Amino acid sequence: MTHLVLVGTSHHHAPVELRERVALDRDAAAALAVRLADGGHEAVVLSTCNRTELYLAYENADAAVSDGVAALAELEPDVEPALYRLRDEAAGLHLFRVAAGLDSLVPGEGEILGQVRAAYEAGTTGPLLDRLFRQALHAGRKVRAQTAIAESPASVSSAAAALAEQVFGDLAGRSILVVGAGKISGQAARNLVSRDAEVAFVANRSVERGAELASSFDAEAVPLERIGEELVKADVVVSSTSAPGYVLDAATVAEAMRERRGRQLLLIDLAVPRDLDPAIHDLDGCYLYDIDDLESIVAETLVGRRREAERAETMVAAEAQKFHEWHASLDVVPAIASLRARAEEIRAAELRKADALLERLDDSQRRAVEAITAQIVNKLLHLPTVRMKEAAAAADGVVYAEAVRHLFGLGEDER
């Protein structure tokens, strides 16, 4: 029987300094998979910033473990104590959990599913790993479709973007005013842009520095003093400067709101100390969220993700069980095939013996006899086949297979 073996390490077992030394890019991962699969084995290398894992299908599980450990130790000798080694059912379940995002830092994060698919495509697969990865990818998609695990934002900037959608719906064509040219406001703006919003203006104390960020968004750089004017055109304001006081007060926003004719304005203040006057939130049509508000939203959504993760675990376990049953059934497949072949052999021989009698029948009668005898064989073997597969799933497969071989004398002719 072909065994499934997993050797690897992840953020649960190794710090980043160690993980980065065993991390592989796509080409290196594919090359390692080819090397490990040499000799008729199967291998897939999954390497992300949080994990490097080798999935191996070998006839000899011990050899697979030692090959896997050696391959990773070759990259970094110190990694060995941080490696986990899982076999068959446990290894399968692990990949299903990984694909569903249940083993990730943020439960349900979406990137891992694409990374698992890429690893599968770059791997050297055969019947076992093919089936394992296809089922794991299916389970990952199912979990995301049938639970809310991936629906809520997991970072402050994605929470800001989700809030913008609560105010404006589709963000296509909505314009953003970025205040401050730092990394934080840029990141939040990028998240909004990924949902089709457009950065129209970047306001910064130093216009030159603002122009750098503005050029990356194809936006206009303006001095801080012009914020009031641009507020009339913007839908979302993202602010993160190092100014000691407010860069935007309620009176300026109130004036802009009069010209906006009731259009809503969402203001995201990511700065500490705060950039935006809290009194802005009291103005009609203005919604101001500071870093604490966003962090509490993220914390709440993470609680929600964990709650959904419990549902997802049940779904993943069921999917992994299906794979396990299929894998275990491989134990008894040769015995079932031999049993059916023996039965067919007997049926054909008995029909040949009755040839003289059957000659008196016409074609349709002969076909009916063929069909009836085949049906009798099938019906007789159906239950033993099902029972053997069930026994295989319950780990008794080998015993049953041996019993069947013994009772029906399968394989004795070859001896």
Partner 1 sequence: MAELLFWPALLCYGEAAVGFVGEARRPGSAGSFATWGVRAGWLAQTALLIAQAARQDGFPWGTWAGSLNLFVWLVVTAYLVWGCRRSFRLLGLAVMPFAVVLLVVARAGGGIGTAPSRYSTAFLVLHVGLVLAAFAGFTLAAALSALYLWQERRLKRRTATILRRPLPSLATLDSLAVRVVAISVPALTLGLAVGLVRLVSDSDRIDALVVATLAAWAVWAAYLVLRSAYGWAGRRAAYLALAGFALVVVIRLALPATHFA
**Size of the residue set binding partner 1 (CB under 8 A):** 27
Which residues, at least 6 apart from 77, have a Cβ–Cβ distance to it below 8 Å? none
Locate the DSSP E strands across 101-181: 175-179
Residues 224 to 243: which contact partner 1 by CB under 8 A? none
User: Is 59 or 255 the residue whose CB approaches partner 1 more closely?
Assistant: 255
User: For residue 221, what are the β-bridge partners?
Assistant: 202
Using the structure block, give the residue that is written with the tokens 């990949």.
95
- Residue 286 among the catalytic residues: no
Rounded least distance, CB 407 to partner 1, Å: 50
Which residues, at least 6 apart from 362, have a Cβ–Cβ distance to it below 8 Å? none
The stretch near partner 1 (CB under 8 A) out of 1-9, 70-78, 165-173, 199-207 is 165-173
Report the side by side order of strands in the sheet with 198-204: 220-223, 198-204, 175-179, 236-239, 265-269, 286-290
The answer to the question of residue 285 lying near partner 1 (CB under 8 A) is yes
CA dist., res. 199 & res. 212, Å (int): 13
The answer to the question of residue 55 lying near partner 1 (CB under 8 A) is no
Rounded least distance, CB 299 to partner 1, Å: 7
Rounded least distance, CB 105 to partner 1, Å: 20
User: Is 182 or 285 the residue whose CB approaches partner 1 more closely?
Assistant: 285
The answer to the question of residue 191 lying near partner 1 (CB under 8 A) is no
Residues 134 to 163: which contact partner 1 by CB under 8 A? 152-153, 159, 162-163
Q: Which tokens is 213 given?
A: 């960020």
Q: Residue 20, Cα to own-chain centre: how many angstroms?
A: 21
Rounded least distance, CB 139 to partner 1, Å: 22
What is the pairing mode between strands 84-87 and 175-179? unpaired
The answer to the question of residue 263 lying near partner 1 (CB under 8 A) is yes
User: Is 121 or 151 the residue whose CB approaches partner 1 more closely?
Assistant: 151
Rounded least distance, CB 236 to partner 1, Å: 12
CA dist., res. 344 & res. 127, Å (int): 27
Rounded least distance, CB 260 to partner 1, Å: 8
Q: Which tokens is 363 given?
A: 């074609």
- End-to-end CA distance of the chain: give it in Å, rounded: 21
Rounded least distance, CB 115 to partner 1, Å: 26
Q: Are 253 and 266 in contact (CB under 8 A)?
A: no
Specify the length of the chain in residues: 415
CA dist., res. 279 & res. 286, Å (int): 10
Q: Which tokens is 4 given?
A: 């499934």
User: Is 128 or 176 the residue whose CB approaches partner 1 more closely?
Assistant: 176
Q: Are 268 and 239 in contact (CB under 8 A)?
A: yes
User: Is 306 or 353 the residue whose CB approaches partner 1 more closely?
Assistant: 306
Per-residue mark of binding to partner 1, 303-342 (x: CB under 8 A): -x--------------------------------------
CA–CA distances in Å: residue 241 to residues 129, 207, 270, 275, 319: 51, 13, 8, 7, 49
Q: What DSSP character marks residue 248?
A: B
The answer to the question of residue 301 lying near partner 1 (CB under 8 A) is yes
User: Is 214 or 309 the residue whose CB approaches partner 1 more closely?
Assistant: 309
**Interface with partner 1 (CB under 8 A), residue from 216, 264, 338, 373:** 264
User: Is 146 or 215 the residue whose CB approaches partner 1 more closely?
Assistant: 146
Write down the catalytic residue from 49, 272, 341, 380.
49
The stretch near partner 1 (CB under 8 A) out of 84-92, 268-276, 290-298, 353-361 is 290-298
Site residues for partner 1 per CB under 8 A: 152-153, 159, 162-163, 165-169, 260-264, 281, 284-285, 287, 289, 293, 296-297, 299-301, 304
- The catalytic residue positions are 49
